[in-house]
Amino acid sequence: MTRKAEGFTILLASALAAFGVTLVNFANSGTLDAQSALTFLVFAIAFGALFVATQTWAPRASSLLIAPVAALTAIGFLEIYRLDPARAGLQRWWLLIAAAVAGSVLYLLHLGSTEILRRYRYTILLVSVILLLLPNLPSDWGFPLRGLEVNGSRLWVVFDAGLTPFSLQFQPAELAKLGLVIFVAAYLADHQHALRQAHRQVGPFRLPEPRQLLPLLITWGLSVFILISQRDLGASLLLFASFVLLLYAATGGGGYLVSGGLMTLLAGFAGYYAFDHVQRRVAGWLQPFENFEDAGYQISQGLFALGSGSLSGAGPGLGRPDLIPNAATDFIFAAVGEELGFAGTVAVLALYGLIMAVGLGIAFRSRDTFRKLLAAGLTFVLGVQTFLIIGGVLRLVPLTGITLPFMSYGGSALVGNLVLVAILLRISHEEAK
C-alpha cells in the first residue's frame, strides 16, 4: 500500500465512524446532530497526526499498520456510542491522548532508535514492576493515588487530588505489559545461544536445563503474583502466554511450550480453587444456559446476540446489545456480531489477522535479534489478547475480563495499544534502512 492509499484509508475509517454515529442517531431518535462531524474530526486528527508522525520520524515503516488499527477503532467506537454516548465522548478524548502519546514515542525512538529500549531495559523493568504493584495500594488510605477493585479483580488505580470534580482511573498493566515485553526481548537477545544449546532429553521432549528455566520461572512467578494479589486471571494469562511464545520464538525449543503449558494449567487450577469469581466464570463458560440467571447470563446474552445477527446484522442502533452486561468492554465483539452480522465479525477478524501478519512479517524480516524478538513479542501480546477475549465470547475459553484491542472502551488500553503500534512502526522503519 502506498502512503497516499494509507492516508485515504485513514480518512475512510474516520468517515466510517462518523457514518455509524449518524445511523445510530437516526435509528434512536430519527434526528441528526453534530456528533457525526465531531467524531470525523477527532478520528481524522488523531490518526492523521499519527500518520504524519510516522511520515516524519519513521518514513520507511510499513504502510499496513495504521489503517487497520483506525478501522478497528472506528468499528469499536460505533458500538461504544450505540451503547453509551457518554462513554463514547470520553473515548474520543482518550483517542486524542493515545495518538499524542504514540506520536511522542515515535519521536523519542527517532532520537535514539529502538536500541535505547535495550540499553535501559532494567530501568524499564523496574518501572513496569512498580506499575503492576500500584493496584495493590489501599483503597481508603487517604492518599490521592489508590487501588480500586472492580468485578472481583484489583486492576485499577484511581488518582484524585481533589483539584478537579472528577478522578482519573487507569489500568497500569496496559503499559507495564509493554515494558515487560521489552525486557524479556532484551534478555533473550543476550542469552539466545545459551538457551538454544542447554537442553536435556526427557522422553520425547527436549527440556531446558533448570538454570535456563529462570526467565520462564520469573515470568510465571510474576503472573501468579498478579493472579493472587489482584485476582486477575486475564492479565496473568496474557503475560505468561505471550512470554512462553516469545521464548519459543527465540529458541525453537518445544520444551518451553510444554513447560509453559503445564505451568499455565497449574496456575489456572490454583486460581480456580482460590477465587470465587474465577469459579463463577468457569461455571458460566461450561454451562451458560444452566446458569442463565447467574454466572452464565453474560455469555448467554452474548451468544444470543451473535446468533441473532445473521449475515448482515440488525444494523447500527437497531439491535439490543445493551442487554449484554459490560458489552462496551468485555463483549464488544458480540455487539458487533448482532448489529453488523457475520460479515462484520469476519471483517473484524480479517483486520486483526492483517495486523498480526504485518507484525510477524516485521519480526521475520528484522536482522537485529533484539528488534526481531521485540516485534514478535508485541505481536504475540496483541494476538493472545485478541484470542482470549474473542475466544471467551465464542465459548472457546473461559472469560478472562480483558479488553479487545483498539475496539473496547478504555483509555489506558487504547494508549497502551497505540504505543505498541508506534514501536512496531519504528522497528519496521529501522529494518527497512
pLDDT per residue over 281-311, tens digit each? 788 888 888 878 877 888 899 999 999 988 8
Q: How far apart are CA 106 and CA 65, in angstroms?
A: 14
Phi and psi, residue 160, nearest 5°: -145, 100
Mean pLDDT (whole number) for 3-16: 94
Q: How far apart are CA 219 and CA 292, in angstroms?
A: 36
- 3-class DSSP assignment, residue 322: helix
Residues 421, 238, 121: CA angle, nearest 5 degrees: 60
Grid coordinates standing for 359? 507484525
Q: Could you report the per-residue pLDDT of 79-138, keeping only the tens digit for each? A: 999 999 999 999 999 999 999 999 999 999 999 889 999 999 889 988 988 888 888 787
Rounded to whole angstroms, the Cα distance separating 23 from 36 reads 9
Could you give the number of structural domains in the chain?
1
Q: How far is CA 101 from CA 14, 43, 46, 47, 177, in A?
A: 20, 15, 11, 12, 16
Contacts of 224 (CB under 8 A, 6+ apart): 236, 267, 270
Domain encompassing residue 253: 3-431
Residue 62 · residue 362 · CB < 8 Å: yes
The whole-angstrom distance between residue 181's C-alpha and the CA centroid of its chain comes to: 13
Q: Which of 145-159, 240-254, 297-311, 340-354 ranks highest by mean pLDDT?
A: 340-354
Higher pLDDT, 52 or 259: 52
pLDDT digits (tens, 9 = 90+) for 45-66: 999 999 999 999 999 999 999 9
| Mean pLDDT calculated for residue range 345-349 | 96
Q: Is the dihedral of CA 377, 383, 388, 389 positive or negative?
A: positive
Give CA–CA dist 317/303, Å, rounded: 18
Coil, helix or strand for 198? coil
Cα distance between residue 253 and residue 222, in whole Å: 22
